[in-house]
Structure 1
């Protein structure tokens, strides 16, 4: 009778529609649209904040890398502090209502940044340290508030997904979520750059707020179905909760299992080493793209696009193929080795198009790595310990990522700042040195995993009987792997530790010479005189405005050598303000606050050309604002004569030397151009300036 029913029911089953194949059901469709819009809004907002801090607020300040690192670091530390607290509350609250509250709150939190974005007049002089730190403080405070919302959103989404999607369709739902993340990475950064550079940071803020509004409306339309089967599952889960020995006991149980499982130890070490490098890569990649790859900030975002395309291809094709052909263990460790070699190559590049290609393959490799992580974790972990094992490994990698962000920011800001070590055949600078270390860490992660996995063999879970799988007395300490390595002079764990130690030592051997042996490229010992700076009057068609112009923004470095010693431009050239702490203005005129299109913010000899039009501005105009003479025979107070030669050397934005013998006042100010002035310095061999710090 059962057979008859089964056969007769077969033809009545309708094939899935196109909608069901793509978006599973009505509820998931609303959820997918809500997640898609809020994800895109977040990427646009995060990218715009990075561009705003790096190209406007921090400009070329020595602490700019630290500020960019803080943008990545703050959400992580807030999530760590809020994670456990939020998880408990989400379990108690209605999941859909939680998402609605979070989206509604995030709309107003994001819009709260508008008053500090420059849309309204600030009570501080434009471009001053006070204005900069006020705006950055507001941005970081908004990030903290948004970070408090995220730990509530992610678990609520996960549980709501379980409620509205049939169990058989969960893999497809999670797969579409991964594609969603990568699509946000591809579309979001260029969209953010387009909005930011054409309309300003304010419209990026409005865009993010609108995305949360769309997400809010879609979650309102979701109607979770609570059938009897799910209620029964919840009842069973509630009964099991009463039998638990307590939070601390379960935590210790999970830690013991992970600590006693050789494969999980290798997985945790690999993920931690990858995270230890990834934080520095994410923090400094903007600066690397502009300094080393000679890319403009608006081109930089396409590096993420190529990485995202590679990640999608890796997740959909390469990752499954590698697992099928080589197995899940090889699929986990080989991508680490490949990623390390690719990142080491990336650190030595000086062309942005080559960077596109390398990062595309990094995306393929990293996606293959993470696609293998989930199946490997499930294969070596009993079902009742999967959550705790994943949490332990996730916390390790999160802490490693936070350490990486802080360490990379400190290194590039202090011991490696403006350091260049010239070796036969190549030069080591601050950021490419760190990126070489990132590649070595990834390489070490893959090698130690491979050395560990060679001593273990997976036990097929399908060999277990259903009774064994559901047994209440399941031995959680029983491994789902078997040790097959032969005893030797070095055990598995000792060999693993030795590989990691060698990797760290090689990293130190790369960093230490650059930090302590290489000379600084900006160690000025001579300060140029103040001259007679403009005090607000119109100079050669340039007006002193109350706000920073954004029609055209260029950065040119003026490298000065006097009697063989590097000379520094006075800070505050082109800035007019009353004398007060926190404001670096060279000129003062009563209560007037204004900024010329050509100015110097920091003690870095970078001429900032924030222009109101598309005209070509010259070095002679800058000297007019500074109030100093400039000609073939004189610069400021230094005049050439028979025994003291005055020479000008020019490098374009890509570092190519240009032989210039004309009037120095006619030299055009161009993006990342280096103008070198040599007064009585025949032994100095000029080089192009590269430490643009993301400008």
Structure 2
């Protein structure tokens, strides 16, 4: 019996097996860097909301507008800076860009910690400091994320991309759940200073993990010298490649559903279904729980049916899931359907990463990956505005939202967003079918030409 050299310690080398499970030591470090960086983002996002609502302006009539300003401060860098940052992510050394931006965020929150500790600021000035930190931190993330994606494209072997996507989905879902819950808890128990110090620690750990990644992963630079030419080159590459067009279409249609659901799902549960806050908390937990389940078990399904087919099926199935959820009338059924939607959404996300890594040419990952986040944010913002206008129109014409009937605006809006997901799945199928037929025709032409040349 041949003994694997990696298993010399009583036939079982734990570190070697861990390296194989986590694809490689550099992937593990990048994976941890992503997890800690995301933890800091979610932690401060949840902390800042509670900070403004419970401490700074608890009784202000402008509190909804102030909370909206914090959310808008996080969204603007994704929409405005994201596509531009991708160009620089392709120009600069990706590992160094990640390190610099982690150091920037460490310094930013250290400065905020000193400001809070020294005191002397009124509530308005403290609110301004929070908004500034949100804007700068999110701007830094727009450079960090595409740089990490560019390195990941080189670090992850082609046959392990689905596994890597599954692990990233699992960690990000867990991080989102824990950090979103931990932010208000830490703030309530220990105050703002401890919450900010926790953010400093997470970004510092992320920086250490990135520093330990080998510097040999350097994507080939494909730039033509001028910023806007590089930007246009990346956009042209994304629009001309059939596979990338499919992913772009899916992102646009998903953004519409996301914007509507972010405005309506909570109201549907609390008003239409008549749930108490505690029961709605159980319902809200079902979606991330489905994410975790799919991140563990969904890999087998994706590998069995193929990444591209699973991507198309997931978007359409997500539309059917939300449509069924809009028809739910009981808590148990709503919870089961939300769990199913979480499972399907996780499959959709796990397919997107490997598709991009396979389709994007080396040297373009920064520009192209930076397009998808802003695209989803823009379509989501437009659809959120649309949903708010529909609800305002319904209220002005005496249509009661949340009455539980089939004409309930909350129910109809969820169905409208679900229809967009179904339409997106159908559109993606048509684009993929046409591109496949075109490739088949081109291949047939090449074969005929070769036969003629052989004669």
Q: TM-score, normalised by structure 2?
A: 0.72
Counterpart of 1:20?
Answer: 19
Aligned counterpart in structure 2 of residue 154 of structure 1, from 145, 158, 161: 145
Counterpart of 2:434?
Answer: 456
Residues 1:122 and 1:283: Cα distance change in structure 2 (over 3 Å): farther
Distance in 2 of aligned mates of 1:27 and 1:156: 15
* Post-superposition offset of 1:275: 0.6
Describe how 1:320-339 pairs up with structure 2 within 5 A. 320-321=300-301, 324-325=304-305, 328-339=307-318
Q: Summarize deviations over 1:284-332 as a string: whole Å, max 9, x none.
A: 555555555566768766655432231233344346525634x555423
Give the structure with the higher percent helix.
2
Counterpart of 2:46?
Answer: 47
Distance in 2 of aligned mates of 1:481 and 1:395: 34
* Post-superposition offset of 1:97: 4.9
Distance in 2 of aligned mates of 1:77 and 1:99: 21
Counterpart of 2:289?
Answer: 309
Give the structure with the higher percent strand.
1
Higher RCO (CA < 8 A, seq sep 6+)? 2
1:314–1:364 Cα contact (<8 Å) kept? yes
Describe how 1:497-536 pairs up with structure 2 within 5 A. none
Counterpart of 2:383?
Answer: 404
How many residue pairs get matched? Answer: 431
Counterpart of 2:446?
Answer: none
* Post-superposition offset of 1:278: 0.8
1:58–1:64 Cα contact (<8 Å) kept? yes
Describe how 1:120-135 pairs up with structure 2 within 5 A. 123=122, 131=123
Counterpart of 2:423?
Answer: 444
Describe how 1:661-672 pairs up with structure 2 within 5 A. none
Residues 1:250 and 1:139: Cα distance change in structure 2 (over 3 Å): closer
* Post-superposition offset of 1:144: 0.7
Distance in 2 of aligned mates of 1:116 and 1:300: 37
Aligned counterpart in structure 1 of residue 336 of structure 2, from 353, 357, 369: 357
Counterpart of 1:669?
Answer: none
Uncovered stretches (5+) of structure 1, i.e. residues with no partner: 1-9, 124-130, 460-478, 484-695
Describe how 1:378-417 pairs up with structure 2 within 5 A. 383=361, 387=365, 395-408=374-387, 415=393
Structure 1 position 38 matched with structure 2 position 11: no
Aligned counterpart in structure 2 of residue 186 of structure 1, from 164, 177, 180: 177
2:83–2:374 Cα contact (<8 Å) kept? no
Counterpart of 1:270?
Answer: 250
Q: Summarize deviations over 1:73-99 as a string: whole Å, max 9, x none.
A: 433321343345544555565655544
Q: Summarize deviations over 1:563-613 as a string: whole Å, max 9, x none.
A: xxxxxxxxxxxxxxxxxxxxxxxxxxxxxxxxxxxxxxxxxxxxxxxxxxx
* Post-superposition offset of 1:146: 0.9
* Post-superposition offset of 1:189: 2.6
2:238–2:368 Cα contact (<8 Å) kept? yes
Aligned counterpart in structure 2 of residue 346 of structure 1, from 325, 343, 366: 325
Q: Summarize deviations over 1:243-289 as a string: whole Å, max 9, x none.
A: x5976666656656665667755543332121122134335555555
Residues 1:116 and 1:95: Cα distance change in structure 2 (over 3 Å): same
1:193–1:298 Cα contact (<8 Å) kept? no
Distance in 2 of aligned mates of 1:159 and 1:191: 31
Counterpart of 2:453?
Answer: none
1:319–1:367 Cα contact (<8 Å) kept? no
Counterpart of 1:224?
Answer: 214
Distance in 2 of aligned mates of 1:345 and 1:107: 45
* Post-superposition offset of 1:14: 3.4
* Post-superposition offset of 1:373: 3.6
* Post-superposition offset of 1:154: 1.8
Distance in 2 of aligned mates of 1:353 and 1:120: 49
Aligned counterpart in structure 2 of residue 281 of structure 1, from 245, 261, 267: 261
2:255–2:380 Cα contact (<8 Å) kept? yes
Distance in 1 of aligned mates of 2:244 and 2:89: 29
* Post-superposition offset of 1:426: 1.3
Distance in 2 of aligned mates of 1:282 and 1:33: 29
Counterpart of 1:76?
Answer: 75
Uncovered stretches (5+) of structure 2, i.e. residues with no partner: 8-12, 443-455
Distance in 2 of aligned mates of 1:174 and 1:312: 12
2:87–2:227 Cα contact (<8 Å) kept? no
Distance in 2 of aligned mates of 1:176 and 1:37: 14
Structure 1 position 143 matched with structure 2 position 121: no
The secondary structure found in structure 1 opposite 2:6 is coil
Residues 1:323 and 1:14: Cα distance change in structure 2 (over 3 Å): closer
Moved more, 267-276 or 167-176: 167-176
1:75–1:144 Cα contact (<8 Å) kept? yes
Q: TM-score, normalised by structure 1?
A: 0.50
The secondary structure found in structure 2 opposite 1:401 is helix
Counterpart of 2:447?
Answer: none
Distance in 2 of aligned mates of 1:415 and 1:116: 45
1:272–1:397 Cα contact (<8 Å) kept? yes
Residues 1:437 and 1:266: Cα distance change in structure 2 (over 3 Å): same
Cα RMSD after superposing both structures: 4.7
Residues 1:46 and 1:318: Cα distance change in structure 2 (over 3 Å): same
Residues 1:62 and 1:294: Cα distance change in structure 2 (over 3 Å): farther
Distance in 2 of aligned mates of 1:269 and 1:311: 22
Distance in 1 of aligned mates of 2:274 and 2:70: 24
* Post-superposition offset of 1:360: 1.6
Residues 1:348 and 1:399: Cα distance change in structure 2 (over 3 Å): same
Describe how 1:606-685 pairs up with structure 2 within 5 A. none
Q: Summarize deviations over 1:404-427 as a string: whole Å, max 9, x none.
A: 345455666x54669743799717
Distance in 1 of aligned mates of 2:259 and 2:173: 18
Structure 1 position 210 matched with structure 2 position 184: no
